[in-house]
Structure 1
Amino acid sequence: MTQPIGSASDAIYGIHADALRVNRDRLSVLAANLANADTPNYKARDIDFRQVLAGVSNGGLTMARSAGSHLSGTATAAAGVVYRQPLQPSADGNTVDASQEQARFAEAATRYRASLDFANGRIQSLMLAITGGR
């Protein structure tokens, strides 16, 4: 379950909690692109990481709800999903370029790992402060 922005974890993890969520969502979108590389009329999508993360960290990102029963107060990158302009669309209308998708997926995975390492370092520092190195 996604935690609401502004939760207690923000004080511990800082921006890295939001970065992990945004990168997780971006990895999911890119994986869907790769999975649909041969699907006719599939349109490649992506998430503008910087734009979404800036909106999340400034408290300016709000999710549109398609039904009143949907959760509010949580922010994910879903609001920042955009269709990518193809460099060379295929004859069947598919706009996925597998090599570009693989490169973007590798970049997003590297960013995710970096945020995870920073968050883990923060926890280790707090544990060291709490235990006094014992």
Structure 2
Amino acid sequence: MSLFSTTFQTIENGISYASQKQQTIAQNIANVDTPNYKSKTVSRTSEFRDLLHNELEAYQTDSKHIPFSDSSQRAITQQGNTSYQANGNNVDMDKEMADMAENQIYYEALVDRLNGKFNSLQTVIRGGK
């Protein structure tokens, strides 16, 4: 029997994903004026999403809410088929800023959930006090 559920590992994977996504977004923003730079995105693999969906079901009150799921398997892909500037660059600052805000909300939700799990453990250790 495991002392801890897989929730900690799932949250850890989510925080790792959010960190990698933040780094990718920051790299895109830093290269907004670099000629011929193509923006990058971080994506999750479908196999892990299917596995996680079967293991952990989050309650989503609105279809516009960010889903509470993550992947330990992800890929960074380069978006090379578009160009928004005359120099061949395809970084869209509005999209990058929106992605950054969404990623921040996702990260904060994961950290809040992790704090809740630690508070539960602390309550158990103290004997319910």
Structure 1 length normalisation: TM-score? 0.68
Contact 1:18–1:56 (CA under 8 A) maintained in structure 2 = no
Gaps of 5+ in 2: 53-70
Q: Distance in 2 between matches of 1:113 and 1:52?
A: 25
Which residue does 1:33 correspond to in 2? Answer: 28
Q: Distance in 1 between matches of 2:9 and 2:97?
A: 29
Q: Deviation string for 1:86-106 (max 9, x for gaps)?
A: 665211011101111000011
Match of 1:80 among 69, 75, 79: 75
Contact 1:10–1:17 (CA under 8 A) maintained in structure 2 = no
User: Does structure 1 residue 22 correspond to structure 2 residue 14?
Assistant: no
Q: Distance in 1 between matches of 2:77 and 2:46?
A: 11
Contact 1:19–1:115 (CA under 8 A) maintained in structure 2 = yes
Match of 1:131 among 117, 126, 129: 126
Instruction: Map 1:41-56; keep pairs closer than 5 Å.
Output: 41-49=36-44, 51=46, 54=49
SS at match of 1:120: helix
In structure 2, the CA distance between the partners of 1:110 and 1:46, relative to structure 1 (3 Å rule), is same
In structure 2, the CA distance between the partners of 1:81 and 1:16, relative to structure 1 (3 Å rule), is same
The count of aligned residue pairs is: 110
Amino acid in the other structure paired with 2:30: A
RMSD: 3.0
Which residue does 1:100 correspond to in 2? Answer: 95
Contact 1:51–1:80 (CA under 8 A) maintained in structure 2 = no
